[in-house]
Structure 1
């Protein structure tokens, strides 16, 4: 890895926007957006180059730590935690016996799943090689206290179905804590590549995978049957020396393009043009370029009679005028 690659810095800029719950239509799209076999191959290829792969764990490590912090805020213990799309164990390395007694790691890319099996963790782990969209085929209903997923669900084709399986696997009053990349992720790279392709090739193709937004994720959680669901958004910005280091790191993260109708090649001329456009439109004063990763954090609970219920409409006993005062009250006409 070159010294310029190691010189990149992370500029964490938390931007939280809370989504208003709404309900999505009940029908799910039957079409596959992502080539899941290709994505497994990409991630396994990255895992085979262990040292280069580990050097690009910085985004997922940061998000995993944030997710564990959110779990600690709940102030419960979870004897059995299921990590869906675990990778080599980004979450497991941050969990301790005060939180859980065991972590079950599930991932469809076998070599990525076992990449760090020689790395010790504070809690016992069990690795299960299984497609993240097929949880119901392996895990019993009401079998886990907590299910987590760190930056893997943006590659799932049947996201509604996977959320339903996650809720099924949870015990009553169990919690799901997940994170996935949002629609503004790598918007700088997306626009630069589109403009470069228009200039050099006379057309554009999908280079960055389509991603959902916080409003849609809230709807999907509600539709899957979760209670007390919330979604909030962070942004993590990383500075890279140039577009070449960014593209190289995405490759070793296993985050390369896996859209079904993608164009298979990117010419060096187009990439060079994209790099110049990137610097012109988004470049920083020191000559580096920023790359934005939008992180959507989600929390949902499996319904249980013990959970708090909203008060009945009209049951309030406080007059609004008493709260806002006479000056803030507007008389009815």
Structure 2
């Protein structure tokens, strides 16, 4: 399988988030959303794992629901551990979890950076006990669409060609297919779109670096960009994506996904032909000849 992401650079970008002023607004939004979804489930999860959640914001929010017993955090380096954490260090694509060892797995805003995403889904599925729950927040396809458009246009203007400057993000249908392929029961996906406003492109790009979202693509251009390139990008961004007050818009789409490790107690679809009443009768519709 050809690698899309330079995993060494992905890990370097993640570590940089510890040295920069935190831009954790998207993690906080995901934390609130995932905690709300967990909170309405009428059960307790004795063994839970947060999988590559950066600074533990999501883990903290989920623990406050009172639904979790023992919580373990996994991140790419020990530097992410906080006082009181039960912590394991592991790369994005290799989870140090035994089969059927946990009741709940939560992945906040990291699965979009894996090369073998189907394989990671399978690892999570195997780690769950029967009737265990997987929750994920994954940046979706419309994320940073304005920045992608602007950087592409400026590079075409200046060089006549283009290289990938913004990473590809998954479509909601792709995430649903991954859940099914990995063997999850009762898969559910939905998405939310958030618009964040900035004074210009420059604080947006600083936030992306502080979020660990600098470009880690293997196919990225290694040629340094000039100040003139970014000034033109800022000009074009303001022309195309600014509000009447002059501030620019940046779109972030988050796909929320859930799936359960199969268990005999779960609801199952009826077998074809097993219905006791015809749909036409239920709808009081006249059947076609």
**SS state of the match for residue 175, structure 2?**
helix
Seen in structure 2, the aligned counterparts of structure 1 residues 109 and 202 have a Cα distance that, compared at 3 Å, is farther
1:107 maps to 75
Deviation at 1:305, TM superposition (A): 1.3
What TM-score comes out, normalization by structure 2 length? 0.95
**SS state of the match for residue 74, structure 2?**
strand
Deviations 1:198-250 (A, max 9, x none): 11222211010112211111111111111111111111110111100100110
1:164 maps to 122
1:272 maps to 231
1:67 pairs with 34, 43, 47, which one? 34
What TM-score comes out, normalization by structure 1 length? 0.82
Seen in structure 2, the aligned counterparts of structure 1 residues 110 and 41 have a Cα distance that, compared at 3 Å, is farther
How many residues of Structure 1 are paired with residues of Structure 2 in the alignment? 287
Deviation at 1:97, TM superposition (A): 6.6
For the residues of structure 2 that align with 1:207 and 1:110, how far apart are their CA atoms? 30
Q: For 1:87-236, list aligned pairs within 5 A.
A: 87-94=54-61, 95-96=63-64, 98-111=66-79, 113-114=80-81, 117-118=82-83, 125-135=85-95, 138-236=96-194
2:17 maps to 46
Deviation at 1:140, TM superposition (A): 1.2
Moved more, 260-269 or 59-68: 260-269
Moved more, 147-156 or 279-288: 279-288
- Which sections of structure 1, spanning at least 5 residues, go unmatched? 1-29, 119-123
Deviations 1:126-146 (A, max 9, x none): 1111113111xx321110010
Deviation at 1:331, TM superposition (A): 5.2
2:254 pairs with 281, 289, 295, which one? 295
**SS state of the match for residue 256, structure 1?**
coil
For the residues of structure 2 that align with 1:214 and 1:224, how far apart are their CA atoms? 16
Deviations 1:246-271 (A, max 9, x none): 00110111110000010132222111
For the residues of structure 2 that align with 1:266 and 1:103, how far apart are their CA atoms? 43
Deviation at 1:330, TM superposition (A): 5.4
Kindly indicate whether the alpha-carbon contact (under 8 Å) linking 2:38 and 2:65 is maintained by their aligned counterparts in 1.
no
Kindly indicate whether the alpha-carbon contact (under 8 Å) linking 2:39 and 2:65 is maintained by their aligned counterparts in 1.
no
Deviation at 1:189, TM superposition (A): 0.4
Aligned-residue CA RMSD (Å):
1.5
Q: For 1:72-87, list aligned pairs within 5 A.
A: 72-87=39-54
Kindly indicate whether the alpha-carbon contact (under 8 Å) linking 1:92 and 1:125 is maintained by their aligned counterparts in 2.
no
Kindly indicate whether the alpha-carbon contact (under 8 Å) linking 1:106 and 1:132 is maintained by their aligned counterparts in 2.
no
Kindly indicate whether the alpha-carbon contact (under 8 Å) linking 1:43 and 1:109 is maintained by their aligned counterparts in 2.
no
For the residues of structure 2 that align with 1:158 and 1:321, how far apart are their CA atoms? 45
